[in-house]
Amino acid sequence: MQNLVSGVKNILSYKRKARIDNLVFALHKVTAGVLLLLSIIVSSGIYVAKPISCISDKTVDRVIDAYCWIHSTYTIPNKTNSALNEIQVAHPGVAPLDADDEIRVHKYYQWVCFVLFFQAAAFIFPRVIWKRLERNRIYTLSSIGFEEMAKNEEALSKRRKQCVDYFHQCLGTNDSWALTYAVCEVLNFINVVIQIDLTDRFVGRALSKYGLSLMQFSSQNPLMRDDPMAAAFPTVTKCMFHMVGPTGNLVNFDSLCVLPLNIYNEKFYPLLWVWFIFLAVLSGLAILYRIFTFLLPEVRHELLKRKFYMATAEIRNLGRVNLKLDYGDWFLLYQIGKNMRPSAFCEFLDDLVNRFSDERDLTSKAAAKEKYL
């Protein structure tokens, strides 16, 4: 249990050696941590506490709880006070079963902890891909290493020169690397959209109908209305146990079962579903942002100016650097800037401009020499 909790803590923590993603990407990581934490809480409720308690004849007391937990319970949707328009049943859906009644079987609660765990895995999967393919490139070029040399000006200058040389050498080779990040953002969006639908399916489409049900609930008679979530997450249900009597006849035992875990499920599932929708909107906007930055170089230049305005006393340097960069090179430079102190990034840009200037001078001299020869 301690290892699981420490794993959740690592997922929920955003502080890292270097920031390799944006806020929306980080929210997917946090969502994975929350889902894993909920999975642990629900699992504890199942294996530590008693997840179901059934009332029945003393003859079957020893097995009725286990039987109803394994084989599921049910309610009768049309046997509620609001449906009957009068107070006839003690609990929504718990009433005598007539021949023409339809029943709603509830067995999802056995799988809640497992579904939450696999949802957490699905949310963390794109980040795992990005971390593996990112190959620590941002950390190598970030100011993390600079901070350790802050008191040694000579070592700091040498380190900065190495980073500028490395950045210059890999110019034009970063497009596929940046594309990997964009693909992971698309995976985030696809995953959260799928999770919205799967979560709703898992609880019998109750979440997509919750808004309309809530409006109807508020307009009903307070004495006869039923909680909209009671149909999807009933805390009191029915269970029918069949056994063979002493003389070989079939004996039926009608049991009333209490599901205490549903008091938590009815709270966090609507919140999770709304959060997934909000996260899907943010993820869609993040993809649009990525498309705009890919298609419009002037947007990339403006973003660098706005993001690092404190570091760019000489804005011309930024424009001269931006002209030399493909999209992948710009993306890497942007990530480097996020992980550097403004003053350190300004010095990095100055060194990079000087490197471009030296390269242009060498090219001009070579061209002049070739012309002379």
pTM of the model: 0.83
Look up residue 18 and give its two tokens: 């270097």
Q: What is the pLDDT of residue 365?
A: 34
Low-confidence ranges of the chain (pLDDT < 50): 14-15, 144-145, 312-313, 361-373
CB distance 236 to 257 below 8 Å: yes
| Domain boundaries defined on the chain | 2-359
Q: How confident is the model at residue 368, as a pLDDT?
A: 37
How many whole angstroms separate alpha carbon 126 and alpha carbon 40?
A: 22
Model pLDDT, residue 25: 95
Question: pLDDT (tens digit, 9 = 90+) per residue, 66-111?
Answer: 999 999 999 998 887 655 555 577 788 888 888 888 898 988 888 8
Q: What pLDDT does 11 receive?
A: 52
